[in-house]
Structure formats: C-alpha cells, structure tokens
Amino acid sequence: MERWAEFSAATKLDGIGVSEIIRIGAQARALVAKGHDVIMLNAGEPDFPTPDNIKLAGINAILTNQTRYTALDGTLALKAAIRRKFLRENGLDFADDEISVGAGAKQVLFNILMATLNPGDEVIVPLPCWTSYLDMIKLAGGVPVCVSCPEDAGFRLSADALRAAITERTRWLLLNSPSNPTGAIYSSAHLHALGAVLRDACRVGVIADDIYEHVRYSDVPFATMAAVCPDLRPRVVIVNGVSKAYSMTGWRIGYVAAPAQMIAAMAVVQSQCSSNPCSISQAAAIEALDGPQDSVRAHCRDFQQRRDMIVDLLNSIPDIRCTLPDGAFYAFADVRTLLARPSVIGQGITDDMALCQFFLNECHVAVVPGSCFGAPGYMRLSYASSESMIALSLARMKAGVERLLAQ
C-alpha cells in the first residue's frame, strides 16, 4: 500500500505564519513554566476583568437558553445596539443590512478582505501597523502596499504619501486610529487631507479599523473617515468591536458597518467559515454597548496614568527614547541609539529582534520588536498591566541596558 505523503502546508500559506506576537507569548509562557517570573508586556489586551453587568448579561443568556445558532452575521437585537452606538458616538446612521457581526474585529477584517479582493488587488497599509494586516491581505489574494510613516510625521500617513502609493490596482486604504502599535491618532484635519486625495481616486475605499476608539487620552472628539468626509461614506467600511473598550477579548465579538452589498458578500464568507458568532457573547455585547459606560472612562483614566509612568521610565533608560502616545495602550520606544552602541553590537545584539530576545531571556520581560510592525529599531510595550508590574519590569530592563552598556 502506498504511504501517505509527508505533510506540507498549502502554498497559499507560503510566507504566512503564526503571528510573531503569539510566538513571543509562547516563549514567555515556556519560561514561566520553568519557574521564571516573566512579566508580560507583550499582550494586546486590557488586564481589567469584563465589567460585572456584561458578565451577568452573558450568564442570563445561558440561563434563558440563548444557546442556539443565531442569524448568521448577528442577531437583530445586537445589530440594533450597534446602530445605536454608531448614531450616539459617531453621528452615523446605518440600517440593519449595513451591519455585520463576527468573532472579533479580526474575523470581520478577514471577511472584508476575502469578500472584496481579487488576485493582485492592492491594499495600502501605513507602517507601523498591526502585524495581522499584511498576512490577512495576502491570504485573501491581495498585495499589501506598505508605506512607512516615520515618527517625525507622527507615524501618520501623509496625503502626499497616499497619493504616491495609489495605483490602478489599489482597492483599499487600511487606516487604524488610534494605532496599534504607535497610539497615533488621525484628527479630522488629517482625515480631510487624506479624503481630498481619495476623492480623485474613486476605485479606492477605506477600511477604518476603529477598535481602539475608546482608548484615547485627550478631549478631542474621535474622528472617523465616514463622519469626517460624508461624501466618501459609500466607500468607507468601519471596523470596531467590544474587545478593547469593554475588556472582552475572549468573548470574540467584532462588527463592521459597510454598504449593504458588501455586507451580503461578507455573510457568504462567514457562512462557509464559522457561521454566527457565539450567541452568549452577542447577548453580552448588547449590554456592553447599551449599558453604563463608566468603566470605559475609568479604564481609560487608569491607562493614562500607566502611559505617563511607562513613558517616563522608558526615557530614564540610557539610549532609549519614547514619545507620549495619544491612544491605545502601547508605548512604542525608539531603541536605535542603543542598537548603534559598539558594546551592544559586540554582544551580538544587532537589531530589535535580538534586543527583545535579550529582554526576555536576561530580564524576564516580554516585549515585541518593532520589526513585527514594520518598524525596525523600535519595540512595543503594552501597558495593559498593573503599575507595580510596569515599575518592576522597567527597572529590570534599565538594569539590563546598563549591563549591556558597561561591557
């Protein structure tokens, strides 16, 4: 009998891997399993528990047997709560057939790309960006067109850079504000400038990943392209979810607002992939969106304190520099000066990957190299961690850097 051929993954997975952030997390957990007390500043999730009113809504959903298949892309009750959210917070009115719900913002992003990209279609992605964007675009048959946005431009895409990146094949501009990993926010003025370029490029749509909408540290109102440039609204898709705002990362609920035809195409993708998102989580998400919002504000105040603290501590480490991020819960620190020091290079640490490996192995602090986000020479530290853990981890990193520089 012929033997089963050795496994090799499908070619569509060529060059696509489990995200580097997940790999670093696994390495950190392996050290913990060996008894080391590793501090994890690598995670992209709030450390607060889900608020009790939301948990109770989930429990109630179980007790009232809301445990069956639901409508494919979200219950009408959840869609109504999402519509109310868009009207209340963004001044945008959507119909039920312009809303779709999936298992996290990640799934809805994937649905959008699968439902809209033809082979070779280009998606403009400002760098630094969330690691998953590029692989998702490739899996969906598209081509990411990365545009580096330097720190002195606020890590934001300029109108000129956008204009230069648009080709005949451009299908989408993918904007993430506040940004993971930089915390950069696009104000309405920035969006107006980008919108002016898009007006002349009528094939190009915008995917606005607004998942960090509620994690912002100024009183400036939140700006999203569909609200700032209403004439572009027919080609703008808004992605959001409950993960970050309500500490609900494990519940897996994300949603999207888009033109009805696109929502219908996304439903085809989801129907053949996973069907409805968890019925219990959907019920809990209604409470998150409709219920009291005080925990959102309280968490944001806590994040702000931690942000100020971590940025100060980072700047107290020799040769590391970090500016104050405006949103999200990540500090994005520049380590290029450190990496240029002969004593650091002499110890085999020649890039941000090696430096983060040093912080993990020698200081037992897990942070993510900037290269994972398309920004070599930087590193990302999540401050979704207690103040005492932030103080301890940064003290360890400072001692580690001093050791490196002393050699």
Nearer to ligand PMP, 19 or 347 (CB): 19
Side chain identity at residue 373, one-letter code: F
- One character per residue 139-178, x = contact with ligand PMP (rule: CB under 6 A): -------------------------------------x--
State how far the alpha carbon of 403 is from the alpha carbons of 154, 317, 348, 362, 393, in Å: 32, 12, 14, 10, 15
Q: How big is the CA angle at 395 (ends 391 and 399), to the nearest 5 degrees? A: 175
Number of helices (H) and strands (E), helices first, in the chain? Answer: 15, 13
Q: Which of residues 331-390 bind ligand PMP (CB under 6 A)?
A: none
Distance separating alpha carbons of residues 237 and 200, to the nearest angstrom: 18
Residues 106, 242 contacting (CB under 8 angstroms) = no
Least gap, CB of 140 to ligand PMP (angstroms): 15
Enter the tokens of residue 134.
Answer: 């590029």
Nearer to ligand PMP, 136 or 283 (CB): 136
Nearer to ligand PMP, 105 or 227 (CB): 105
Q: Which of residues 89-108 bind ligand PMP (CB under 6 A)?
A: 104-106
Q: Which of 51, 254, 374, 400 binds ligand PMP (CB under 6 A)?
A: 254
Q: Which of residues 35-64 bind ligand PMP (CB under 6 A)?
A: 44
* Cβ-based burial of 120 (10 A; exposed 0-12, middle 13-18, buried ≥19): exposed
Q: Which of 42, 243, 276, 282 binds ligand PMP (CB under 6 A)?
A: 243
Q: Which residue is nearest to ligand PMP (CB)?
A: 104
Angle, helices 20-33/352-363, rounded to nearest 10 degrees: 20
- The span of 117-125, 185-193, 220-228, 241-249 binding ligand PMP (CB under 6 A) equals 241-249
Q: How big is the CA angle at 81 (ends 78 and 84), to the nearest 5 degrees? A: 150
Least gap, CB of 175 to ligand PMP (angstroms): 10
Nearer to ligand PMP, 101 or 226 (CB): 101
Q: Which of 89, 209, 326, 352 binds ligand PMP (CB under 6 A)?
A: 209
Q: Is 240 left (phi over 0), alpha (psi -120 to 50) or beta?
A: beta
- One character per residue 116-135, x = contact with ligand PMP (rule: CB under 6 A): --------------x-----
By the rule CB under 6 A, 213 interacts with ligand PMP? no
By the rule CB under 6 A, 249 interacts with ligand PMP? yes
Token match 């603290």: residue? 309
- One character per residue 299-338, x = contact with ligand PMP (rule: CB under 6 A): ----------------------------------------
Reference 237, options 204, 190, 212; nearest CA is: 204
Token match 């330097």: residue? 150
**Residue 276 DSSP class:** S
Total interface residues for ligand PMP by CB under 6 A: 13
Please give the helix or strand (H or E) that residue 296 lies within, else none. helix 294-315
Nearer to ligand PMP, 85 or 364 (CB): 85
Q: Which residues bind ligand PMP (CB under 6 A)?
A: 44, 104-106, 130, 176, 180, 209, 211, 241, 243, 249, 254
